[in-house]
């Protein structure tokens, strides 16, 4: 490496830097407190946290893969069986959320197809549009006029009335 001729532009640090010597015989209290904190608080907490993480790594629990067993419908519950009513209501809510997600996924697929196809969307996305039409009609038939506070019993009554209307129309 060539020597730089301009020493003033690029100052070189001195080759030997002096060592800072303590002026007192008493140790620095900051290092003492830091060491005590490290051994008394930090080390045990770190040990426990790492031990818990190792235990949890052995038994992974995926909360979003929780599977519920199917419970009886409201029509299958006995009179006065409030636990069955509660479980049927929870099952109905889960089914409604699943149906909402299905409609949303189909709607997103149709939107992606329209975005991808551009001006040819009407002929190339006809299958997705027909599927969305069927899914939204099925969702509307089942949950249509229930509103936000709909429950399993009102949904069952709506289904009963729809079946009676279909029977009358068939006669």
d(CA 157, CA 12): 90
Query: What is the structure's pLDDT at 5?
Result: 62
pLDDT recorded at residue 145: 85
> What tens digit of pLDDT does each residue of 107-117 get?
999 999 999 99
Query: In Å, how far are 29, 30, 54 from 41, measured between CA atoms?
Result: 17, 16, 20
Distance CA 99, CA 134 (A): 13
Rounded to two decimals, the pTM is 0.58
Question: What torsion, rounded to 10 degrees, do the Cα atoms 157, 163, 166, 171 define?
Answer: -120
Give the residue from 106, 101, 103, 77 showing the smallest Cα distance to 90.
77
Q: Is 61 helix (H, G, I), strand (E, B) or coil?
A: coil
Q: For the residues 76-96, what does the mean pLDDT come to?
A: 93
Q: pLDDT band at residue 126, thresholds of 50, 70 and 90?
A: very high
């Amino acid at each position: 490496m060539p020597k730089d001729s301009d020493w003033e532009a690029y100052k070189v640090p001195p080759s030997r830097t002096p060592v800072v010597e303590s002026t007192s015989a008493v140790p620095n209290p900051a290092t003492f407190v830091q060491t005590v904190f490290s051994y008394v608080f930090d080390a045990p907490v770190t040990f426990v946290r790492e031990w818990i993480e190792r235990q949890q790594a052995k038994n992974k629990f995926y909360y979003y893969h929780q599977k519920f067993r199917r419970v009886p419908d409201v029509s299958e519950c006995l009179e006065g069986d409030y636990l069955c009513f509660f479980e049927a209501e929870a099952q109905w809510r889960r089914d409604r959320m699943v149906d909402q997600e299905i409609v949303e996924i189909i709607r997103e697929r149709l939107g992606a197809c329209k975005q991808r196809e551009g001006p040819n969307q009407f002929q190339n996305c006809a299958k997705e549009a027909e599927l969305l039409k069927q899914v939204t009609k099925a969702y509307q038939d089942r949950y249509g006029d229930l509103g936000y506070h709909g429950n399993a019993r009102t949904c069952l009554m709506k289904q009963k009335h729809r079946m009676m209307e279909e029977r009358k129309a068939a006669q």
